Amino acid sequence: MGDRNSIMRKSPGQAEMPRGLIGRLLGRIMAWHNGLDSEWTVRLLHIGNDEQILEVGFGPGAAIESLVKLHPSVQIAGIDHSEAMLDAASSRNRDAIVAGNVILQLGSVENLPFVNSTFDKAFSIHCIYFWEKPVQGLRELYRVLKPGGRLAITVRDKNREAYQAFRPEKLEQMLHRAGFTTVEIAANGVSAHPLICAVGTK
């Protein structure tokens, strides 16, 4: 925790776009630090066998690695805009990529490279803070979800200014603006830092 905060103070841009040696180091810390957050988020989606899953902002690929172990029959796609994280996640998930269960690529949430109604479930953890146009990104996620598909957006429940735009009521409003008909808000106070997850259904 202290190491991560030290890195972020010295290189705040690394959170948005990890790069170079510091970015790879941050990726390792993120994989450890966000493990419980990922597990909690994935549980809220109730993922079933043979489903198509999308993660936006996969970072070092730890959540995808866990998903493959828990649900070996699912197909997982991932989008991230950091080459350092693409390299790290590809290395971590090499066997699943070779087997054809995982596809990772560079991309932006505001312009997802998938046709309409591709995925059963989608999720993004601690990333929406960095999206240039959050509602547009949510609309893109809505577009690529199948009817009845579910999207989980997890954020930290903190009072600092950077998190105020993503308070539960504001997340709910953004998901409704993006087209989601039903939005549920879940809270998790067990983590090292309290979390909020907004789950929208198409």
Sorted by where each begins, the domain ranges of the chain are 35-201
73-90: buried (b, 16+ CB within 10 Å) or exposed (e) per residue? ebbbbbbbbbebbbbbbb
Confidence of residue 182 (pLDDT cuts 50, 70, 90): very high
Q: pLDDT tens digits for 90-127?
A: 999 999 999 999 999 999 999 999 999 999 999 999 88
Structure token digits, residue 126:
């601690």
What percent of the chain is predicted at pLDDT more than 90? 64
Does pTM top 0.85 for this prediction?
no
CA proximity to 31, closest of 80, 77, 5, 64: 64
What is the CATH code for 35-201?
A: 3.40.50.150
**In angstroms, rounded to a whole number, what is the distance separating the alpha carbons of residues 181 and 192?**
32
161 pLDDT higher than 90: no
Q: pLDDT tens digits for 65-77?
A: 999 999 999 999 9
